[in-house]
Amino acid sequence: MLSEKMQSVLNKQIRIEAESSQIYLAMASWAELQGLEGVSQFMYAQSDEERMHMLKLFKYINERGGHAQVSELNAPPLEFGSIKEMFETLFKHEVFVSGTINELVHIALEEKDYATHNFLQWYVAEQIEEEAQARTILDKINLIGNDKGGLYLFDSDIKQLTVVSSVAPPA
């Protein structure tokens, strides 16, 4: 059984994951309008993944006797200035999400809720991977600079981008 506090903070995380999905969706739309098909496909897939993260939390709360809740979401930005600015925004957001996951782990330990602590370890590992991926993409964008040919190749290559985290389970 979840404590009221644990249920409350997990429901806040549901909102964060849902907003993350919306942010990626807005980025997908913006990239599509810029003619960046590969980046757009990548962002649509990321949006779906964030929604899955939200649903996983949703199910967990209900399975533990809590009440998972849908809440109002903040609207994401619709314009990103440049591809570099968009990926910088993405990276900063992933760092923020990592912080919120770490806070959940801290609360779970304080409450001696070892089931939730165990459940959250998946999110901890996932965030390491998300940050590494965002950092890798930013590194590539910085290498490209203002080279349109490089951006064209990057847009094509991002469809196959895979970043293997140090905590990822072996394939």
**Binding site for Fe cation, residues?**
17, 50, 53, 94, 127
| Measured CA angle at 70 (ends 7, 39), to 5 deg | 110
Report the C-alpha gap between 68 and 66 in whole angstroms.
6
Report the C-alpha gap between 101 and 120 in whole angstroms.
8
Assign residue 81 a region (left: φ > 0; alpha: ψ between -120 and 50; beta: otherwise). Answer: left
Report the C-alpha gap between 146 and 139 in whole angstroms.
14
Give the annotated binding-site residues: 17, 50, 53, 94, 127
Report the C-alpha gap between 162 and 166 in whole angstroms.
13
Question: What DSSP designation does 111 have?
Answer: T
